Amino acid sequence: MAVEVVMPKLGMAMKEGAVSLWNKAVGDSVEKGEPIASVNSEKIEIDVESPAEGTVLQIAVPEGEGVPPGTVICYIGNPGEKIGTQPISASVQNAGSESQAPANELNPSVNKVKTAGDRVKISPVAKKMAEAAVLDIEKIKGTGPGGRITKEDVQEAMKSQRALQAEHPKETRIDPQIVPAQETQAQQVQLSGIRKVIACRMHDSLQKTAQLTINMKVDVTDMIALQKQSAEAVQKNVNNNLSVTDFIARAVVLSLKKYQEMNSALIEDKIHLFKQVHLGLAVALEKGLVVPVIRHAEKCSLNDLSRSIKELAQKARQGQLSNEDMQGSTFTISNLGAYGVEHFTPVLNPPETGILGVGAVYDTPVFVGENLERRSILPLSLTFDHRVLDGAPAAAFLQTVKQYLEAPITMLI
């Protein structure tokens, strides 16, 4: 009997999942443990591996269709083997291939991957990157297992493409304004999975809340000095490394305990003031933004927060977050400092009242009394729901965060 491959359950709250991409087509051979499809449920997307060696006999769930967890999405076995009580003949296999033909005709690159005799092996992420960059995947040399094209291979091909365009600008660059409309082509990508969830939530956030953003600069010279001075002792005694984000998270938690109205949510015309601080930390992934949550952050020491931040960030990048890991936050921190961004306008994560945007630390001369000194400045941007609180208490909250960061020893007492 053929082996069933089912939609996995990605968290206790999952009600439906969808296949975002099939890596295999009907008739393709697969090895045990080889990724055969990518599936997603709201903010989680993972690869489904083949439970057995064999051939893809039938694809039961097409790309983009949502099904409950436990639903059979495909069958793997030997050619001609039975699926349930029905034998899979060559005509059925061909029908399965034909059912995918219309979608493949719309995207030639997909057609090549799924039906060519010498099928190109490419990871889902690399495939999407190659299609977005209009690269011919058959011309990309794969360095992964079995010649599989990886994300890094596509990035190298993109570099080569840019270099070629720089050498032959007249041959490769076309002004889109002089191209007839009927000759203009654009890739169409279905809004689904993580991207669709983010799009809906961000649109609802801006439509249903009264968002206002205030900015403040913080002198973190002493905080960075404390971080560096304590690095060796922290590593030796608790086997950890404290980051700037760890100190910011600690300052936010302590400030939220003083300003409970910022640690709140407006739900059905009632303001819910939370005693517990469930801190959300935005993590940027290739497929979109996820916000894992540190629950009961008010009970955590600086070191506890640091470990939780690192653990959740690692789980996010490995696609191991559950729905429960991303639910119930009462306040969120979004850090774009690693990208060189200073001030920006973070968007609320409903139904939360506030979100703190963290920019990049930069050095600048500052007068300290009569002396001009080199100081490290951290830009902060606080977006809050003006329906819940006014500008003055929001500014007082941000000022308290600033005070903790400028006197970092107070976060350790």
**Separation of alpha carbons 43 and 322, rounded Å:** 9
Query: Which helix (H) or strand (E) element contains residue 5?
Result: strand 3-6
What tokens appear for 104 in the block?
Answer: 């493949």
Q: Let me know how many helices (H) and strands (E) the chain has, helices first.
A: 11, 21
∠ CA(318), CA(320), CA(323), 5° rounding? 140
Angle between helix 244-258 and 302-317 (nearest 10): 120
Tokens encoding 49: 């591996």
The DSSP code sequence of 191-224 is --HHHHHHHHHHHHHHHHS-EEEEEEEEE-HHHH
Query: How is residue 305 written in tokens?
Result: 């927060």
Query: What residues form DSSP beta bridges with 38?
Result: 21, 47
Q: Which residue has the tokens 């090895």?
A: 31
Bridge partner residues of 16 (DSSP): none
Which of these, 188, 150, 224, lies nearest to 376 by C-alpha position? Answer: 224
Q: Which of 125, 146, 144, 127 is nearest to 136 (CA)?
A: 127
Angle at 278 between CA 271 and CA 226, to 5 degrees: 125
Q: CA 159 to CA 152: how far, in whole Å?
A: 11
Long-range contacts of 131-138 (CB under 8 A, 24+ apart): 131/107, 131/187, 132/187, 132/189, 133/157, 133/158, 133/161, 134/187, 135/161, 136/109, 137/109, 137/112, 137/113, 138/112
Q: Of the candidates 386, 393, 362, 388, which has an alpha carbon nearest to the alpha carbon of residue 376?
A: 362
Distance (Å, rounded) from C-alpha 146 to C-alpha 23? 15
* Terminal alpha carbon distance of the chain: 65
Q: Which residues pair with 365 in a beta bridge?
A: 374
Catalytically active residues are 386, 390
Taking alpha carbons only, the member of 214, 211, 240, 213 closest to residue 227 is 240
